[in-house]
Structure 1
């Protein structure tokens, strides 16, 4: 009998339709249906296989009707254990499910429906959910699912009493897309009296028809803004509240809820609440004391509208209730957190208007913000300020001592891996980008601990191999090409372990089978057209060769101190080990070590170790630490010699090194930009006539940053590491933003060769929204304890005008940090760059003025002097231009000059 059922099922799948299959299933008992599960799974695998249907057109092997029948079969025959195999897109249509539920309800159906709330795609419509709840097919549907589906359908709101009695309130209590669903689709019949906001119209209608409680809707609008929903959903509740036009009486009744809105992370609901409070603060029942308690919070917000509305209400309360004036005035100095001129002026005038100049608490509060006060504000508050104390503070200020940061210190030492457990822990982190130096540690510590990997320990490496496969298989912005190279290297070592320990590595073999579609490996690295990564590929290939030779020698280039530097003493000791074992180091590995060598070390302390070395090694290290070009006279390897010259010249420029470097570069046909910091750039404006509506047209002006970079093509077998940093790359060798930090840390003394192309790519237009990659590079520059170069000055200036506030703030922090370092900052150049950019209206000037007034002003006199130089040089470029916020820049300049005087 079972064979007959399978045969009948197969016949229907091949030649029948859904109705025939449902009729067939109705005749079977539960046991017979379960017996068909293996056949159904085979058909799913067979019919859901992708194949080429015709030339360049792909689809499933099964017909639409066959796939529909498989959905029905899974729904009717699968048990509780198999339900997870029914992906949302494999469910039958709602009508088919409704038909089946009339004669069979799977025991797992209610739980399955609830689990859909965690899926991105939910195929079931809200009306179907409501029907099944009404019919008793679903007994307990989670409110999260109802909220998500209900906002997509307004057609059945009055179909069942529980919809408006219970379900509609879930819209206010759980995440949903109501802000995106608040419009009429072309297929819907939009009522004549409706506006464009569909759901707001619906709420007005059902409230007017007395179908739901108006006061409850108003209350839920206010409570919902603090339920951690996204910005759009949160702001929608504020829109609904305003659209319902609450009366004064209703707002008085909802005072507590209005006050609770002040904790909302979005500014729009707060401003809505404040606008309502402006209407009711004169009412006898208004809780003025509770509002005053919220003033410190409200005045601390960065949004100007919130602070301005709060000051207006404070003025109204103080005027109407003089007994509250002192309580209000003592809180007003919180406004001075903001460096906005209009807000400070308004708050200062209120203090003068209502406060007692002898109030010591108020004076103390104002003095807490003394560094933030603009000059106009200081003049208004002259009766409240202890001017002599302020003058004394300025007069005794001592210029901050500039600090020369040593590269090799105990506090920046990178911890060494000395035990097997530490090594396994490192493998668990290396593919998660926890630290940039993990990339360098993997090959060197694999060499060190490879002797301890055996049949007893190899299984401990399985989690790391799984993560390596995922690193190559998954594409996202946090994974760079260097991560993929590192993972491919590790997996190649894993393949060798599988051959060596077949019994103990069965799980590794299963992983290899699962990810057999991954073809990226050391065998095809250099055909990947990723030219700039070839030095890294070469180093990893060298390590694989050393592993085959059972070598335990460490890589020369593994950094010893943060962020990427190598102690010259450690480097010399590593070179000694190589010479003792008569092993030739990787040329790229040695060059990378030279590029990372800490050049501020004491050569005298290193001389005893250098005497134990032979060949080029002692000559190269002696030159790097002393700058004596004579050390290189006997150096034989020209690539190592050139790497040393470029590195040393970038650290401490001198004419001899420059001439020597240029000569070597010319011999190798490499552009001179490796030895110079000159960076020609300009803004190109292009006018384009674009057609618009009504056969009209208008001129569109586009501005692009152009940097003059040498067009240098690279040969795959080029022997110089630095060449790969500055060459022009093929189209396929695009920018992997996750690699920028490691690439800059590969040439920490010469970051310009990477920054030039980075700026050219990421700042080509002022409206490019790139944030993550720019943030990564700025943080990298922040970590390098070196003076800013012409290229990094350009990067800082462009970042100060970037559209993202985080980028602007980070650029400001770098500027502040560099001011305190040993080498002076060229503030005139920063001002000239920003002035040149703004003369061409590159970006809104407000971005810089806001950054300067909110973050850069007033920290100390030295900083104010430096900022005044920047602003002065910006103004020198803008005197003949008509640009928005020019007046604010002038006011900022006047304020800085007054502070300095």
Structure 2
């Protein structure tokens, strides 16, 4: 007699589906357990997805070699034989259907079946064939234990009957089983379910509840109570919104609201604005009634008054006004409570609050006076005027500059610690690739130069983790926070390791073993080892951007000194944060080179000059007189204000040019001959325009099955950088090595820092992680870097991806650490950032404006002109800008208010005669600023634009009328 497995295999091969159930019914529990391994082998064979032939297009066609009947036989067998874990792993859920299980469950119901079915109650998706009717049949048949969560999910579909197309509404189906209306329907309120999706635009369930309440099939008071309780059951926004609609749809009367008010008041803690605003409107109807729980409402007021929803705050103030009107003995208390709404920088909210306080509060009450005065600094003009009796009188601002400490005295600078011993060098090397500080890139080569004669065997071993990190950076997978400069630094460190092998073959054996091991692993993986074996001299970025050459040249300077065992410092190593060099330390470093009769690297010299600062000019001059001679002494004197002129004998022309553009730009016309570029380019002056660009884009036509060109538009900012070569040049690397090696090869012009400044990319890949270190090459004049960011990051105005966003944010963060007078590029950068599609970017730009006004480094009028030009064609929603102003740019100080007036006047003057969306909010802010400054509109162009806008009617007429009524508009 054949075994069960043999019988089953034959049945499966012959696809005898009709014989399956009789065969399975013969199995005992022990036989099922024994058959499991055999069944799993069959699964592997029959469910294998493989190539079954060629498709009509010539490619491989994939599928099952088994038939649909064979796989169906196996799925049924899984249900009978497997435990739940194996059943779910076999993905046999297709048998969980009424038509199939009705034929199986009478003779076999797995012990896990009830839990399996009820688990769908917690799943995101429930199969459509698990409906309420079938589920109740399973419960009534004893196959499944009732689950409240699953019933809540499937019951909402129980009022529909399926049609060939769509479904028909039959609420009477709910009355077929008494348990449905007595018990199950309340599970919807407890567990939520999917009632909001089943309701549809026709409001089927809303009508059902109202109808059943009116017919007495459901208790109306309980439906109202359960609906109200749903607001605090952590339902998602859509579901909470549906229960809100249900409550409103049932139209509760005042008596019902009084009875429900404790539950409704708890709704004010809800994270969703719709239930909160709905409840506030309902409470407003009973706030004047004797049964209203005013104390409980007042307890919730601080939370709702601080809400970001203006509707929420407005509704709360309306209720408070009703309470103040009715309860005379609590008016001061209510006014103090209402004053919390003054925190919102919204004129309508502040005016409503101010009128409430002015009408009901006692102006002689010290408590009210203290509460209102706490918000005095943030009050807008109209609200301030109304609340004047409750405010502390302001002292006249005789010396506003003193308020901001606007002095010429240098700020206290934070020194950058330099490694004092070899262990500190090891610690620095371990951090250099983490970008914890931008200046770590500069510190590492300088520290290695300082400790190059302490490379003993033990010390080299200490550096092995850093070398290992450099290997990983060079050859490992690229990570999101790595920049190209990290790759360059790793090349420098590995090149130095190879130099150690040459100088100290015995002491550096540990590094050689590490290097050889890494190299052999690369070869085992058949990876190209040329990039790993090449040194720093061959390093390049795939974009061939010259922007990375200044850093590379400085590292080459360091490497050349290491190759020649020279104990000299790098001139450009920062001494103070963020990446500044004390001019006195620069003098000392230059003197080391002069004492050893050697020259510093030309790029190193330029960057040092661009980073240097002088807190005490006289001390620096005295030190330079003592330690320096020749051209370097003249150069330092020029930086410190001495009068020196271009001279044919100057050997450091690029360094002189760097000094001019960093410290004395007004003299550029005298020194422009030291560069091949025009004065306009050297000063980062460029042309730009912003407009709506018309172009054609490809769109696939599914009918004709071809790509078609269709007209389209996009916002664009076009920056034109005019860069023309006028003089033959010698390549940067060749020039550098000629200098270092003493080669006297002549060149008509020697490339310097300003020949290399560029960002060259089509798509941001790693530049965002380098931008701070690039900007810190010239912290007193980073305009060229900002010029290239403007050109590429803003090409289509809004930021296109995460890397573009990071590039801009990191550049903004770098600017926050600097103090310099912004040029054309800086103003375009900050103004554009105020309108971009990222809130963080806009907030940083606002902070830079606040900082720039305080330090007198920004021109607010120029910012306003740029913003107005961008808005001329509606490149960005004006709401972004107005919301930004309200979020923290208003009433920072009288100085800032005057600058804001200039910014807005210039902005309005540059805008289109046809107002864009949200112009009214802009004018509201403008009126507020004019009122605060007590100034009329005196700009002729702004007056003309306002007159044009006034003609457009609508809401603009009123606000422009208020501007004219309060302040006469002068015409030129």
2:241 aligned residue: 239
Please state how far the C-alpha of 1:755 moved relative to its aligned partner: 1.0
1:482 aligned residue: 485
1:566 aligned residue: 581
Q: Any idea what SS the aligned residue of 1:883 has? A: coil
- After superposition, the Cα gap between the structure-2 partners of 1:689 and 1:470, relative to the gap in structure 1 and judged at 3 Å, is closer
Range that drifts further, 681-690 or 533-542: 681-690
1:659 aligned residue: 670
Q: Partners of 1:303 and 1:832 in 2: how far apart?
A: 32
1:860 aligned residue: 893
2:542 aligned residue: 528
Q: Partners of 2:840 and 2:378 in 1: how far apart?
A: 21
- Superposed, 1:145-544 pairs within 5 Å as 149-151=123-125, 153=127, 155-156=129-130, 159=135, 165=147, 191-192=167-168, 200-202=196-198, 222-223=231-232, 225=234, 234-245=236-247, 248=252, 262=268, 267=273, 270-271=276-277, 274=280, 277-278=283-284, 287-319=293-325, 324-382=330-388, 384-386=389-391, 389-393=392-396, 400=403, 403-404=406-407, 409=412, 411-448=413-450, 451-452=454-455, 454=457, 458=461, 461-462=464-465, 465-466=468-469, 469=472, 473-475=476-478, 478-490=481-493, 500-501=510-511, 517=527, 521=532, 523=535, 525-526=539-540, 528-531=542-545, 532-544=547-559
Range that drifts further, 844-853 or 433-442: 844-853
1:348–1:377 Cα contact (<8 Å) kept: yes
2:807 aligned residue: 773
- Is residue 604 of structure 2 the alignment partner of residue 589 of structure 1? yes
Q: Which protein has the larger Cα radius of gyration, Structure 1 or Structure 2?
A: 2
Q: Deviations over 1:447-481 (max 9, x none)?
A: 44564574576367437735873687455653322
Q: Partners of 1:63 and 1:879 in 2: how far apart?
A: 61
1:439–1:486 Cα contact (<8 Å) kept: yes
Q: Any idea what SS the aligned residue of 1:681 has? A: strand
- After superposition, the Cα gap between the structure-2 partners of 1:526 and 1:888, relative to the gap in structure 1 and judged at 3 Å, is closer
Please state how far the C-alpha of 1:508 moved relative to its aligned partner: 6.2
- After superposition, the Cα gap between the structure-2 partners of 1:832 and 1:97, relative to the gap in structure 1 and judged at 3 Å, is same
Q: Which has the higher contact order (CA 8 A, sep 6+)?
A: 1
Q: Partners of 2:694 and 2:111 in 1: how far apart?
A: 67
Q: Partners of 1:123 and 1:216 in 2: how far apart?
A: 43
1:679 aligned residue: 686
Q: Partners of 1:836 and 1:591 in 2: how far apart?
A: 37
1:742 aligned residue: 773
2:826 aligned residue: 792
Q: Partners of 1:629 and 1:220 in 2: how far apart?
A: 82
Please state how far the C-alpha of 1:345 moved relative to its aligned partner: 1.8
Please state how far the C-alpha of 1:280 moved relative to its aligned partner: 6.4
Q: Partners of 2:510 and 2:755 in 1: how far apart?
A: 36
- After superposition, the Cα gap between the structure-2 partners of 1:398 and 1:601, relative to the gap in structure 1 and judged at 3 Å, is closer
- After superposition, the Cα gap between the structure-2 partners of 1:135 and 1:567, relative to the gap in structure 1 and judged at 3 Å, is farther
Q: Partners of 2:483 and 2:759 in 1: how far apart?
A: 19
2:693–2:713 Cα contact (<8 Å) kept: yes
Within the candidate set 784, 787, 802, 1:753 is matched to: 784
Q: Name stretches of at least 5 consecutive residues in structure 1 with no aligned partner.
A: 1-25, 41-46, 69-92, 114-121, 172-186, 226-232
2:903 aligned residue: 870
Q: Partners of 2:427 and 2:166 in 1: how far apart?
A: 62
Q: Partners of 1:536 and 1:164 in 2: how far apart?
A: 71
Q: Deviations over 1:632-685 (max 9, x none)?
A: 664314xxx223323333422333x4322x21223xxx3433432533322334
2:688–2:720 Cα contact (<8 Å) kept: yes
Please state how far the C-alpha of 1:189 moved relative to its aligned partner: 8.2
Number of aligned residue pairs = 798
- After superposition, the Cα gap between the structure-2 partners of 1:250 and 1:488, relative to the gap in structure 1 and judged at 3 Å, is farther
1:181 aligned residue: none
2:195–2:205 Cα contact (<8 Å) kept: no
Within the candidate set 804, 808, 820, 2:854 is matched to: 820
Q: Deviations over 1:716-749 (max 9, x none)?
A: 6475342455457465887722222211111223
Q: Name stretches of at least 5 consecutive residues in structure 2 with no aligned partner.
A: 1-30, 102-108, 154-162, 171-192, 502-507, 704-708, 736-750, 935-972
Please state how far the C-alpha of 1:562 moved relative to its aligned partner: 1.0
- After superposition, the Cα gap between the structure-2 partners of 1:425 and 1:841, relative to the gap in structure 1 and judged at 3 Å, is same
- After superposition, the Cα gap between the structure-2 partners of 1:480 and 1:138, relative to the gap in structure 1 and judged at 3 Å, is farther
Q: Partners of 1:606 and 1:534 in 2: how far apart?
A: 32
- Is residue 817 of structure 2 the alignment partner of residue 783 of structure 1? yes
- After superposition, the Cα gap between the structure-2 partners of 1:258 and 1:725, relative to the gap in structure 1 and judged at 3 Å, is farther
CA-atom RMSD, angstroms?
Answer: 5.7
1:431–1:468 Cα contact (<8 Å) kept: no
1:832–1:877 Cα contact (<8 Å) kept: yes
TM-score after normalising by structure 1: 0.72
1:725–1:754 Cα contact (<8 Å) kept: no
1:642–1:664 Cα contact (<8 Å) kept: yes
